[in-house]
Structure formats: structure tokens, C-alpha cells
Amino acid sequence: MPQSGGNSTQRTESQDVTTSTSVGSGSVRLTERSSQGKTTIAASVVQKIAGIAAREISGVHAMGGGVSRAFGAIRERIPGGSGTSSTSGVQVEVGEKQAAVDLDIIVEYGASISEIARAVRRNVISGVERMTGLEVIEVNIAVNDIHLPSEEGQDNEGTSTGPSSRVE
């Protein structure tokens, strides 16, 4: 992953590029200044792009580990809450010209984990590079769980929607 910490300014032909970097979802910003104005990209933007790109892949059930999914479920139940975060399970590190992404995912049972990982990696790199102009140097993927079809009711209700109890 790129080095973190600090601020730097680089002068090129027609622009100043200023960056400040840190790990995680902090206030990392890429600033590009030209004679026509300044562009700033926050790390949270890179996080959201990566999270959305990962979720677009068939076979990815959810993002995040157990703790972040639990907090997401709580946020969904709070009236006026933001629901599940598009950055849950996504950490980024942004430098002057490069970005690195770490993803925690839950895959559907029966899907090829290696194929899903390749597709997620390809989609995240493509999306981040296309939208931000940053070179994505790595996308690390941690598969934390497998979603079973029988867990469908438990994810939403906390109880199973399977057959009723054998005893009354």
C-alpha cells in the first residue's frame, strides 16, 4: 500500500497537485489545481466508488465483517438513519497518484470465490481509475463469510423463515 501521513505539493507544467494521505476512511484528499480551478477528491469518495463497484458483482452478498454488518443492521432500524453504509467493509489508502483498496466481503454459497475475487478486483480497479484518475496499485479482498440461502430470514428478521418447529 502507498505510504501514509503528511502533506506534499508538486508543481507540474500547468498545475499544482497537493495531497494529504492517511489510512482508512479519514480525510484523505487529492487536490489538483490548474489555471482553471481546483479539484479535490476525498478518500470517502474513493471508498464509495470501490464499495459500489464490489457490490455490482454477482455472487457478492454483502460487504463488511460481522461487527460492521451488525452496526449496519442497527442503523437500518433507526428512523431517519442512513441505512447500510456504502463504505462498510471498504478501507482505502490514497496517495498523490495511487490508491490501494482493502475489501471485506460475504459471498453467496456455491459461487466460485476465486472468480468472484477476480471480477470484484477488475471492477473496483476499473471504476476507481475511470472516475478519479488514480492508479489502483492493489485491491486486497478478504472473504469473511458465506451466505447460505437458509439464512435469508435471519439477515432481515433475526428469525428463520424455514420450516416451523417440530413441536408445538
pLDDT of amino acid 16: 41
The superfamily CATH assigns to domain 43-154 is: Cation efflux protein, cytoplasmic domain (3.30.70.1350)
Element (H, E) at 119: helix 113-132
pLDDT digits (tens, 9 = 90+) for 104-162: 999 999 999 999 999 999 999 999 999 999 999 999 999 999 999 886 655 544 444 45
Strands 135-147, 98-108: pairing is parallel
Higher pLDDT, 15 or 90: 90
Would you place residue 8 in the very low, low, confident or very high pLDDT band (cuts 50, 70, 90)? very low
Note the pTM of the prediction, 2 decimals. Answer: 0.67
Q: How many CB atoms lie within 10 A of CB 111?
A: 16
What kind and span of H or E run contains 51? Answer: helix 43-55
- Cell 440461502 found at: 149
Per-residue pLDDT at 129 = 97
Contacts of 108 (CB under 8 A, 6+ apart): 59, 60, 61, 146, 147
Q: Do 54 and 124 meet the contact criterion of CB atoms below 8 Å apart?
A: yes
Torsion of CA 66, 68, 70, 75, to 10 degrees: -170
Domain regions of the chain by residue span: 43-154
Q: For residue range 20-63, what is the model confidence (pLDDT) as tens digits?
A: 444 444 444 556 667 888 887 889 999 999 999 999 999 999 99
**pLDDT given at position 105:** 96
